[in-house]
Amino acid sequence: MVLFDKILIANRGEIALRIIRSAKKLAIKTVAIYASAEREADYVKLADEAVDLESDELAATFLNIEKIIQIAISTGASAIHPGYGFLSENPGFAKACEENHLVFIGPQSDVLQLMGNKPAAKSLADSIGIPTVFSRKIDLLLPEVEDNQMPYPVLIKASYGGGGKGMEIVYNRAELAKQIEKSSRIALSYFGNGELFVEQYVRNARHVEVQIIGDNYNNIIHLYERDCTIQRNHQKIIEEAPAAWLNPELRHEILTAALKIGKAVNYSGAGTVEFLIDEMGNFFFMEMNPRIQVEHAVTEEITGIDIVSEQLRIASGFPLSFSQDQVKINGYAIELRVYAENPLRNFASSTLPVNSFNLPKNSNIRIETDLNINHHVTNLFDPLLLKLIAFGKDRKSVVQLLEDKIVNLNIIGPETNTKYLEAILAHPDYLQNNTTVEFCSSNHKLLINSYQNPSRPTHLPFLIAYSLQSVYLKSNHSASADIWNYLGYWRLTPQIISLSVDGVIFTTELNLRNRLNPSFEFNGSEISFQAVNKTENNTSITIGEITKQLSHITGNQNNIIISCENQQYSISFLGLLKSYPEAATESESRLNFETGEIKSPLHGKVLEINVEKNQIIKKGDLMMVIEAMKSENRILSPQNAKVKNIAVNVGAQVTDQMPLLFLEEIL
């Protein structure tokens, strides 16, 4: 019995990197596949081989079963790891692997057919006595759903997918009929199958999942549970392990139920059994994800088990390398998902390139990312930028560590959800572990408040100090290394400087004669500061007893974009040529009735146009739907108006700030 010699990874991004890391540890060669736009991605460079899929369309790349199989055969790979998403739960893909004598690193196709189909998995759970909620399959050919005894509200869900894609709560029959087409389209686009089902929505529930893993020798064990209650729009954004609030009795019941389901199908590989727990402490089987999970890292941190390595060993024919009694919980772990999205635009995907970032270095911090400044985010795939995982002795210490580290990520380029995550970590209900899956929707206004009210007043002295450091003090060269920079540069510096911070002009008097103790005038007081350059674009600024970490990118001479505590600012020195191509601001997407122009807020593809020329529309009416990073972004009318002209067609690829349509004001 030997391990695979070579595997193909039918995925991309951070999960592809994660698989490569475990494969290298086991001396297994890897083949990466990539969309043409991602040839500079880290996972492409770190794989032993990489094959261009020669397209940027999802259907022609990561959902193209025939092409992936052909590449695996031609490169001599003996197995395929599907990662998560895409084809990872597609039984047709697993069957194609089997028919072509390739090992699918996951369960057998018949098991995938059963457990990858959410309604079928619920039927299995019912048959072996595990509680489930009401559910019903939707016939897309006859989408009228019988209303008899339908327990509204219900959730529409993709039968062969996860991650909240296509999921929607509906409260009556009319909403259900209206939503079916959209949810099916999303499911088909992202998972290659548009089949849907509905299930009863459990109010104020918690979401707990159990990591199981089995081999081909009838051994199946659990690696305890994860708490995935913090979700936005049914998408997990914070995951924890273990679920600290579970009492021993309920934990035992859930773990036992998960193993019972795994044993019923003789499950092989890594999988996750998911449950909802209501306010009374009753639990209900939701679904089984027969694949590796995005959040598997928190389980690895508390158990010390490399789940991906176990997947590779099991698929190679080896038994589990540990028994149930060897699996112990050690400490606590939490994962934050950082996305390129704009909370002020209903979390629309932000497709600007990442120009700079500052990943924390700490022995208790783990980063999973394919982020690099040479690889721009595209609008083809999921907007996940990175996963920030912290671990420690208990939940309180881990939350504190995350609060300390996320504040200085300082990603420059796209908008991100970092401040949204900060707000969750600081919320009293989260700190007290008193949350439900409705936490984010119930606290929406509070959680995005930091985006609506920037921290400019407290950041301003640090922004000025960093700007002066970047433009006039240059670097921390020693006197012997650069005598001109150390002694003479200040002589060319004017004493009075005017600079613009996000369009607001400030004038300050400088004192840079003592380079070791520079200062400037601010609000009638002299402010001394110290700057320590940690990297080329990352500097710590200390004023008094307060130190903040700042990052920047520069254009020519005077234009600087600075990020301080995850808040981006545009800085320019007046009188010097402005050269930095600034990103579009929120106000630029609003209607300007001098031109009547409505611009696209992002790069994407036009899916729907819901208005016609000369139509009278009201404020808030849906005008257009644009797809970006597999999310649908709604373009709403900013006020009552008449549609003067439509500048694009359905299916058109649009760019950020590209004109979409023209309105005229109704007097």
CA–CA distance, 339 with 414 (Å, rounded to integer): 9
Six-digit token pair at 106?
Answer: 């996951």
How many angstroms separate the CA atoms of 89 and 35, rounded? Answer: 21
Residue 264 backbone phi and psi in degrees, to 5: -65, -25
Which tokens is 232 given? 């936005």
Residue 59: DSSP 8-state: G
DSSP codes of every residue in 385-416: EEEEEEEESSHHHHHHHHHHHHTT---BSS--
Active-site pick, 18, 291, 313, 395: 291
Instruction: Assess whether 173 carries a catalytic annotation.
Output: no
Tokens of 359: 């990943």
Tokens, residue 403: 């609060």
List the structure tokens of 29. Answer: 């060669």
- Amino acid in the structure at residue 173: R
Radius of gyration of the chain, Cα coordinates, nearest whole angstrom: 27
- Report the helix count and the strand count for the chain, using DSSP H and E: 18, 36
**Would you tell me how many other CB atoms lie within 10 Å of the CB of residue 325?**
7
Q: Measured between alpha carbons, how far is 140 from 113 in angstroms, rounded to an integer? A: 19
Q: Whole-angstrom Cα distance, residue 213 to residue 267?
A: 8
Q: Which two tokens stand for residue 406?
A: 């996320």
Q: What is the spatial distance between Cα 12 and Cα 86, in angstroms, rounded to a whole number? A: 10
Spacing of C-alpha 316 from chain mean position: 31
Closest CA to 287 of 143, 155, 152: 155
Q: In sequence order, what E strands does 308-439 have?
A: 332-339, 341-342, 348-349, 365-369, 384-392
From the CB of residue 278, how many other CB atoms can be counted at a distance below 10 Å?
15
Q: How many CA atoms, within 13 angstroms, populate the side-chain half-sphere of residue 598?
A: 23
**Which DSSP state fits 473?**
I
Is the CB of residue 349 less than 8 Å from the CB of residue 628? Answer: yes
What residue spans of 82-200 are helical by DSSP H?
A: 91-99, 109-115, 118-127, 173-191
Specify the residue for token string 């002066």. 468
* Three-state SS at 451: helix
Block residue for tokens 């545009």: 570
Cα-based angle 239, 242, 247 (whole degrees, multiple of 5): 125
Tell me the three state secondary structure of residue 645.
strand
Beta bridge partners, 631, equal 628
Q: How many CB atoms lie within 10 A of CB 294?
A: 24
Amino acid at 256: T
Rounded CA-CA distance 497/512 in Å is 12
Amino acid identity of residue 96, one-letter, is: A
In eight-state DSSP terms, residue 303 is H
- What is the token pair recorded at 634? 């709604």
Angle subtended by helix axes 418-426 and 395-406, to nearest 10 = 150
Distance CA 583, CA 354 (A): 12
**Which positions are catalytic?**
291
